[in-house]
Amino acid sequence: MSYKKNAELFLVSLIMLFAEVALIRWVSTESRIFAYVNNLVLLSCFLGIGIGCYYSHRRMRLSFSLLALLILVLLIDLPFQLNIGNQSLHPFRDIPLMLSGFADSLIWGEPNITSPYLMTILGMSATLILFFVILFIFIPLGQIFGRLLNESDHLIATYSINVGASILGIWCFAYLSFLYAAPIIWFALIIAGILLLHFFQSGNSRFERYSLPVASIFLILILIFPLKTDKALKTIWSPYQKLQLYELMDEKADINRGFYLDVNGIVYMSLLDLSNEFIDKHPDYYSRELRNLSHYDIPYLFKDSATNVLILGCGAGNDVAGALRHGINCIDAVEIDPGIYELGRDYHPEKPYSNPKVNIIIDDARSFFKKSNRKYDVISFGLLDAHTLSSSHNNTRIDNYVYTEESLREARERLKEDGILTLIFEAKFPWMEKRIYGLLWKVFGGEPLAFQTKLSHNYGWGGIMYVASLNPNTLSKIVDSEPVLKAYLANRQFSYPESEFQNGGIRLTTDDWPYFYIEKAGIPGMHLCLMILLGILFLGARKIILTAGHKLDYHFFFLGAAFLLLEFQNISKSSLLFGSTWLANGFIISAILLLILMANLFVVRFGSVNSRLIYILLISSLVLALIIPLDFFNAFEYWKKSILASLMLNLPVFFAGVIFITSLKRIGNRSVAFGSNLLGAAAGGIMESISYIIGIKLVLLVVTIFYLFSWYYERRG
């Protein structure tokens, strides 16, 4: 292809990937249903690009991409409400609240449901509307990509440009996330890219010439409007979440208690002033005695001789301030979101992060365990409850791997012989209380202590606190020797019989089944309903989608389905090895794309390859990934582990890449093949939910079956 067409290919590939990750982030934040239902935006993007490839011979109108983007922003950002019963809800931003009637799915901030069936129908309908609007954004971009793919004289170079631009798109967005850039910057770059792409097109109509700039201007104005009307003291977009800081005023007492923090539109945490000076200044509303029984302070009543403490999920600093009030000399505080830490550092009334006794670590809890061998008197799990997925390519939340048996065993190994572990959680359902109780009982070999900590909002929101020790008898001795603690626990303590956790009564979470917010193995009702609705709609629309004169290529379809499930596997496993941080996920996805580039170079160097041999190697590498335990890699130093794990886990990606590019070279209509591959990837994304039933590891068996189907259809020609 000419330099102009190569530049056009690079630009459209860059825009597609950048727009994909930007929309996944923005839509999942502003309409949180997409943060609870895995991969929905990703599937919409894939389907849009795939359908666009099928229609690559039709006229392309980039104005449709911008108009669909404009509609998406209008639907989510315009401040209109629906009155349902006694509730006023935004029809698109409040979809999670409409769907909170599903008892097997935990959604934070659920309202009192007065019309559950009506709310569910409206919520499902609104979700599907957003899904299809996102899909239409990507159809014109897929058309351009499919046309360029068909016109290419050097397929491998063309596909390599696509992969290279995709890697750049990932890291452009990662860099903006690192800078805390707001969505207006993301959308401005997408608009600029589409306008630039517009100049590569010939024969643009008058409608196209005028509609593009008009839609662009409207988009920018709509995105600026919320910035001017927002009453938050500060709004930042960290690499994980949208954070909004507000003053925490007690209007009745006219007391400024500190601040509170909204995460993705939901009240998430407070920054409280519980210092001695503040307590003494307001004796009518506070007392030191009650403050010392807050869930920030009470761990140190169980261990008053503690000198070094580990706090996991330290947030904006309340837990750290509690430890400092009790004279702890050395505090390691771990927080995954740098934005939350920085707001705590700058705004927390007690300034805990400015104290030299505090060592802040911006990392995932599991990743920290892998890097540290230090022993602690107290390990305290803060209120770690996630409102976001760990990656756009898997269905686990960023805290799922914290609440597993293996995670608690790693924490146990970091305790001194007489140390204690405390964990607090706001359990919405009895089975959640029992799950944590059973996990601690199993890991520590004895019954943990569990009690309700709620006092009043003056001292924090509270929740259920669990306390465990290497020697369970130690806890009862501590309680008996502390009259204040004993009196406090008298009416708050509870326990469960061990039979609750036997014979499958309460399923305990593991690294293979880390779904802490799901009661038992099975696809949650909300996920299942959406899967069925999407399946019915696309089966009904199949004839419309495929009327471009081409049939679905099942060889490429199953290659796509297998690849996305394999990517899900690798990201999930890598999260356990390196943490669920945004940086680790960026490196993982980039490593997968680099292996595809290496597969391209392999085919360039060796030309035609025996597909039977490559399939045998592919299946063998999948079997190897299935039988090698992840703990095998933890025996090596960090960099050796990184290299070895990246090679072993992603080896199937290399062989699959060789098969894909070799097959694409042989086929006549490449855009149809690529479209089939992306439609298959969307199907694989829907199938990802099977891990709720069989666990993450056995998904590799499904991947293997899909690759065998692709082999079967390849042999059929």
**Best mean pLDDT range from 90-104, 338-352, 540-554:** 338-352
The percentage of residues in the chain with a pLDDT greater than 90, rounded to a whole number, is 33
pLDDT digits (tens, 9 = 90+) for 189-203: 998 898 888 877 765
3-class DSSP state of 25: helix
Q: Strands (DSSP E) along 47-183, which ranges? A: 82-84, 87-89
pLDDT digits (tens, 9 = 90+) for 661-708: 999 888 877 888 888 888 888 888 888 888 889 988 899 999 999 999
Sequence spans of domains, the chain: 1-231, 297-387+405-501, 553-717
Q: How confident is the model at residue 104 (pLDDT cuts 50, 70, 90)?
A: low
Compute the distance between CA of residue 354 and CA of residue 339 in angstroms, rounded to an integer.
Answer: 16
Residue 278 has pLDDT above 60, yes or no: yes
Predicted confidence at residue 621, as pLDDT, reads 92
Compute the distance between CA of residue 627 and CA of residue 404 in angstroms, rounded to an integer.
Answer: 21
Both ends of the chain: CA-CA distance in Å?
28
* pTM of the predicted structure, to 2 decimals: 0.89
Predicted confidence at residue 112, as pLDDT, reads 53
Predicted confidence at residue 633, as pLDDT, reads 74
Question: Residue 499: which residues within 8 A CB-CB, separation 6 or more?
Answer: 505
The percentage of residues in the chain with a pLDDT greater than 70, rounded to a whole number, is 86
Q: Which residue has the higher pLDDT, 544 or 110?
A: 544
Predicted confidence at residue 571, as pLDDT, reads 80
Predicted confidence at residue 108, as pLDDT, reads 55
Q: Which of 25-34, 79-88, 502-511 has the lowest mean pLDDT?
A: 79-88
Q: What is the mean pLDDT of residues 555-584?
A: 81
**Burial state string for 76-108 with b = 16 or more CB within 10 A and e = fewer than 16:** bbeeeeeebeebebbbbbbbbbbbbbbebbbbb
Please, are residues 464 and 433 in contact by the beta-carbon 8 Å criterion? yes
3-class DSSP state of 260: strand
Q: What is the mean pLDDT of residues 46-63?
A: 84
Compute the distance between CA of residue 652 and CA of residue 460 in angstroms, rounded to an integer.
Answer: 49
Q: How confident is the model at residue 441 (pLDDT cuts 50, 70, 90)?
A: very high
Beta-carbon-side half-sphere exposure of residue 639 (alpha carbons within 13 Å): 0
Predicted confidence at residue 253, as pLDDT, reads 65
Compute the distance between CA of residue 122 and CA of residue 92 in angstroms, rounded to an integer.
Answer: 9
**Answer CATH for 297-387+405-501 from 3.40.50.150, 1.25.40.10, 3.40.50.2300, 3.40.50.720:** 3.40.50.150
**Best mean pLDDT range from 142-151, 222-231, 536-545, 582-591:** 142-151
Question: How far is residue 524 from each of residues 200, 342, 389, measured CA to CA in Å?
Answer: 46, 36, 16
Average pLDDT value over all residues in the chain: 84
- What residue type is assigned to position 522 of the chain? G
pLDDT digits (tens, 9 = 90+) for 625-649: 888 877 777 667 666 777 777 778 8
Q: Which residue has the higher pLDDT, 227 or 344?
A: 344
Q: What is the mean pLDDT of residues 35-46?
A: 79
Q: Which residue has the higher pLDDT, 537 or 657?
A: 657
Q: Which residue has the higher pLDDT, 711 or 282?
A: 711
pLDDT digits (tens, 9 = 90+) for 225-269: 555 456 788 999 998 889 999 998 876 667 888 899 988 878 788
Q: What is the mean pLDDT of residues 350-368?
A: 92
DSSP alpha helices (H): ranges in 495-637? 525-540, 542-545, 554-578, 582-606, 611-627, 631-634
CA 590 to chain centre: 17
Q: What is the mean pLDDT of residues 282-308?
A: 88
Q: What is the mean pLDDT of residues 486-511?
A: 83
Q: What is the mean pLDDT of residues 375-384?
A: 91
pLDDT digits (tens, 9 = 90+) for 523-548: 887 778 878 887 777 776 666 666 55
Predicted confidence at residue 666, as pLDDT, reads 84
Report residue 320: phi and psi, to 5°: -65, -40
Predicted confidence at residue 530, as pLDDT, reads 79
Residue 638, number of CB atoms within 10 A of its CB: 11
> Beta 376-381 vs 415-425: how paired, if at all?
parallel
Q: Which residue has the higher pLDDT, 579 or 52?
A: 52
3-class DSSP state of 584: helix
Of 678, 675, 673, nearest in space to 662 by CA: 673
Residue 617 has pLDDT above 90, yes or no: yes
Predicted confidence at residue 53, as pLDDT, reads 87
Predicted confidence at residue 393, as pLDDT, reads 53
Predicted confidence at residue 540, as pLDDT, reads 66
Residue 593 has pLDDT above 60, yes or no: yes
| Complete DSSP assignment for 539-560 | HHTHHHHTTTT----HHHHHHH
Residue 221 has pLDDT above 70, yes or no: no
Q: What is the mean pLDDT of residues 411-436?
A: 90
Predicted confidence at residue 713, as pLDDT, reads 92
Predicted confidence at residue 550, as pLDDT, reads 65
- DSSP structure class, residue 392: T
Residue 23, number of CB atoms within 10 A of its CB: 25
Beta-carbon-side half-sphere exposure of residue 382 (alpha carbons within 13 Å): 28
Q: What is the mean pLDDT of residues 119-125?
A: 84
Please, are residues 427 and 494 in contact by the beta-carbon 8 Å criterion? no
Report residue 210: phi and psi, to 5°: -95, -35
Following CA atoms 564, 567, 569, 570 in sequence, which dihedral angle do they give, to the nearest 10 degrees? 170
- DSSP structure class, residue 397: B
Compute the distance between CA of residue 165 and CA of residue 5 in angstroms, rounded to an integer.
Answer: 14
Compute the distance between CA of residue 133 and CA of residue 76 in angstroms, rounded to an integer.
Answer: 12
Residue 229, number of CB atoms within 10 A of its CB: 7
